[in-house]
């Protein structure tokens, strides 16, 4: 038996397409060879400059240069554009390496088939196989490519910015950005004002996430169980009325609450004054503002849990409740032993998602308080700012991109760690075959 595998593999390693030509697949070999020729041309003409720009972030800032007796503007290097171009170049290099490996694998598999007496596919058969057998991979390649360019690359870019001095007043193209290592991380911890803001905002973010998650979950569950009880009339009416806060767009509800709770002209304080009571600083005092946003979020969020738990309650076998009733078990004992464990089993992953969502709940805070009231000791943050709203202010309002990138990294690490750890500890993950 003639061995073709070593020759085809070696030729593909030397140059893309040679292995396919050795296997007498000339069109496929020409296609791979064209890719390598284009790749070599791009590497020789652009890659070196792009990688150099990524490492140096530019050498010439924008300015005025005297030419004769006249000053003329010079564009200079744009550090951020150089960083993005360098990132795209590295991704293209990885894509070329991926295609290179596919080429070698294809040549090797075809050679193995030849050794077994299987004739290599013609180019037409190869295209037909790609359109039929490999059709799912072709379709999946489109969103994967989009995710790589639109999601992965921005994430890598954001991480890189955390290691630069990209922040006002050092903004391109007027000035160049430089790599500063972990200085931004150290400043966030060591600088008094920044560290105090970080600790304050992070602590409130955790308190908010826990309180917002637990309050909506508990109230939604209790309301769903109460409506599900025997003897409750007009169940559909109660569910419809209570789901209205969820049906109204959050934007509208939050802006209405913002006006209702206004300390100076809000109707709630006016009603309190008519009753002889003094108005409360619902949104103007840090403590009251935090309590207020938790209650407003409770009003907006519990209907979703109520609907979810109502659906789960219909799946619990009635035999369990009938057996408990025959044994004379009190209602609360039945709820604690039967209802609550089964509801928790089904909703634990959603509870974790709720916690992660509330940790990054931008809308409620931004639309209701805009992060206010102001706390003089904080840097670019207010009394109700979460990490995500502080991050927003740092980037779009104050141009502190490097500090914002550090925050986004810390938030990602915390949320990912807590979510994965808690999900792996839930019964839904450990006993996924319990209810089927």
Question: How large is the average pLDDT for residues 349-356?
Answer: 85
Same-domain status, 68 and 189: no
Same-domain status, 377 and 315: yes
Residue 405 has pLDDT above 90, yes or no: yes
Coil, strand, or helix at residue 120? coil
In a domain, 173, yes or no: no
Spatial distance between the Cα atoms of 298 and 290, rounded to a whole number of angstroms:
12
In a domain, 99, yes or no: yes
In a domain, 42, yes or no: yes
The verdict on whether omega for the bond into residue 220 sits within 30 degrees of 0, i.e. cis, is: no
Choose the final residue of a domain: 98, 127, 162. 162
**Under 8 Å between Cβ of 181 and 163:** yes
Give every CB contact of residue 426 below 8 A, 6+ residues apart in sequence. Answer: 348, 349, 352
Residue 436 has pLDDT above 50, yes or no: no
Q: What is the average pLDDT value for the chain, to the nearest integer?
A: 87
List pLDDT tens digits, range 271-305. Answer: 988 888 888 899 989 999 999 999 999 999 999 89
Question: How large is the average pLDDT for residues 225-252?
Answer: 85
0.85 surpassed by pTM: no
What is the per-residue pLDDT for 427? 64
In a domain, 187, yes or no: yes
List pLDDT tens digits, range 169-203. Answer: 888 888 899 999 999 999 888 888 889 999 999 99
Strand partners, 170: 167
List pLDDT tens digits, range 302-339. Answer: 998 999 999 888 888 888 888 888 888 888 888 888 88
Residue 340 has pLDDT above 50, yes or no: yes
Q: Mapped to the 3 state alphabet, what secondary structure does 93-115 carry? A: HHHHHHHHHHHHHHHHHHHHHHH
Spatial distance between the Cα atoms of 330 and 178, rounded to a whole number of angstroms:
69
Same-domain status, 367 and 228: yes
Question: Which stretch of DSSP H or E encloses residue 67?
Answer: strand 63-67
Spatial distance between the Cα atoms of 187 and 76, rounded to a whole number of angstroms:
29
List pLDDT tens digits, range 85-118. Answer: 999 899 899 989 999 999 999 999 999 998 888 8
Same-domain status, 336 and 422: yes
Spatial distance between the Cα atoms of 300 and 316, rounded to a whole number of angstroms:
27
What is the tally of structural domains in the chain? 2
CATH code: domain of residue 340: 1.10.3720.10
What is the per-residue pLDDT for 435? 47
How far is the first Cα of the chain from the last one, in angstroms, to the nearest whole number?
54
Backbone angles phi, psi at 330, to 5 degrees: -65, 160
Percent of the chain with pLDDT over 90: 39
Question: How large is the average pLDDT for residues 16-42?
Answer: 92
* Distances 372 to 208, 213, 361 between C-alpha atoms, Å: 15, 22, 15
Spatial distance between the Cα atoms of 184 and 130, rounded to a whole number of angstroms:
49
Same-domain status, 119 and 208: no
Same-domain status, 310 and 339: yes
Same-domain status, 158 and 270: no
Same-domain status, 44 and 144: yes
What number of residues does the chain have?
Answer: 436
**Under 8 Å between Cβ of 198 and 400:** no
Higher pLDDT, 92 or 423: 92
Backbone angles phi, psi at 382, to 5 degrees: -115, -175
Q: How many angstroms from the chain centroid is the CA of residue 361?
A: 12
Give every CB contact of residue 384 below 8 A, 6+ residues apart in sequence. Answer: 204, 286, 289, 290, 293, 365, 369, 371, 372, 373
Question: How large is the average pLDDT for residues 359-378?
Answer: 90
Same-domain status, 323 and 243: yes
What is the per-residue pLDDT for 250? 84
Token code pair at residue 422: 């808690």
What is the per-residue pLDDT for 17? 92
Same-domain status, 350 and 234: yes
Same-domain status, 193 and 276: yes
Q: Which domain holds residue 357?
A: 182-433
Give every CB contact of residue 112 below 8 A, 6+ residues apart in sequence. Answer: 4, 5
Question: Which stretch of DSSP H or E encloses residue 70?
Answer: strand 70-74
Same-domain status, 118 and 204: no
Question: Which stretch of DSSP H or E encloses residue 8?
Answer: helix 5-14
The tally of CA atoms less than 13 A away on the side-chain side of residue 67 is 6
* Distances 349 to 96, 228, 424, 432 between C-alpha atoms, Å: 39, 23, 10, 12
Picking from 353, 383, 422, 69, the residue whose alpha carbon sits closest to that of residue 213 is: 353
Report the range of poorest mean pLDDT among 128-132, 188-192, 253-257, 431-435. 431-435
What is the per-residue pLDDT for 82? 92
Token code pair at residue 186: 């150290």
Q: How confident is residue 147, by pLDDT bands cut at 50, 70 and 90?
A: confident
In a domain, 289, yes or no: yes
Spatial distance between the Cα atoms of 260 and 267, rounded to a whole number of angstroms:
5
Residue 432 has pLDDT above 60, yes or no: no
In a domain, 150, yes or no: yes
What is the per-residue pLDDT for 429? 63
Higher pLDDT, 278 or 69: 278
Token code pair at residue 435: 């209810």
In a domain, 177, yes or no: no
Name the residue with tokens 């391109």: 172
Q: How confident is residue 428, by pLDDT bands cut at 50, 70 and 90?
A: low
**C-alpha triplet 282, 375, 191: angle, nearest 5°:** 155
């Amino acid at each position: 038996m003639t061995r073709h595998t070593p020759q085809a593999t070696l030729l593909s390693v030397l140059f893309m397409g040679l292995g396919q030509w050795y296997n007498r697949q000339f069109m496929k070999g020409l296609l791979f060879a064209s890719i390598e020729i284009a790749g070599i041309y791009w590497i020789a003409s652009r890659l070196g400059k792009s990688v150099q720009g990524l490492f140096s972030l530019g050498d010439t800032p924008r300015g005025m240069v005297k030419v004769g007796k006249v000053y003329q503007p010079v564009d200079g290097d744009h550090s951020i554009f150089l960083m993005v171009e360098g990132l795209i170049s590295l991704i293209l290099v990885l894509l070329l390496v991926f295609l290179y490996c596919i080429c070698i694998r294809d040549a090797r598999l075809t050679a193995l088939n030849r050794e077994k007496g299987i004739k290599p596919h013609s180019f037409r058969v190869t295209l037909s196989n790609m359109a039929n057998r490999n059709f799912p991979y072709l379709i999946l390649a489109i969103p994967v490519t989009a995710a790589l360019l639109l999601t992965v690359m921005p994430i890598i870019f954001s991480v890189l910015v955390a290691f630069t001095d990209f922040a006002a007043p050092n903004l391109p193209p007027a000035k160049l950005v430089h790599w500063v290592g972990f200085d931004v991380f150290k400043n966030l911890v060591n600088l008094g004002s920044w560290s105090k803001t970080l600790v304050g905002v992070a602590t409130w973010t955790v308190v908010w996430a826990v309180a917002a998650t637990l309050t909506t979950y508990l109230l939604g569950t209790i309301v769903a169980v109460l409506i599900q009880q025997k003897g409750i009339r007009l169940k559909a009416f109660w569910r419809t009325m209570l789901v209205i806060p969820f049906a109204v767009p959050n934007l509208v509800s939050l802006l209405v609450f913002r006006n209702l709770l206004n300390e100076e002209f809000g109707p709630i304080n006016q009603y309190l004054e008519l009753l002889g009571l003094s108005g409360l600083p619902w949104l103007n005092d840090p403590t009251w503002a935090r309590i207020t946003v938790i209650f407003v979020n409770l009003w907006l969020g519990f209907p979703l849990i109520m609907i979810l738990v109502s659906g789960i309650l219909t799946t619990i076998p009635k035999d369990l409740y009938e057996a408990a009733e025959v044994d004379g078990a009190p209602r609360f004992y039945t709820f604690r032993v039967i209802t609550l464990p089964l509801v928790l089993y089904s909703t634990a992953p959603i509870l974790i998602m709720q916690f992660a969502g509330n940790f990054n709940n931008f809308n409620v805070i931004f639309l209701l308080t805009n992060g206010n009231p102001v706390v003089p000791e904080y840097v670019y943050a207010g009394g109700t700012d979460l990490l995500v709203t502080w991050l927003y202010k740092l980037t779009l309002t104050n141009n502190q991109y490097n500090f914002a990138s550090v925050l986004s990294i810390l938030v990602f690490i915390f949320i990912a760690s807590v979510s994965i750890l808690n999900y792996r500890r839930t019964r839904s993950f450990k006993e996924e075959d319990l209810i089927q």
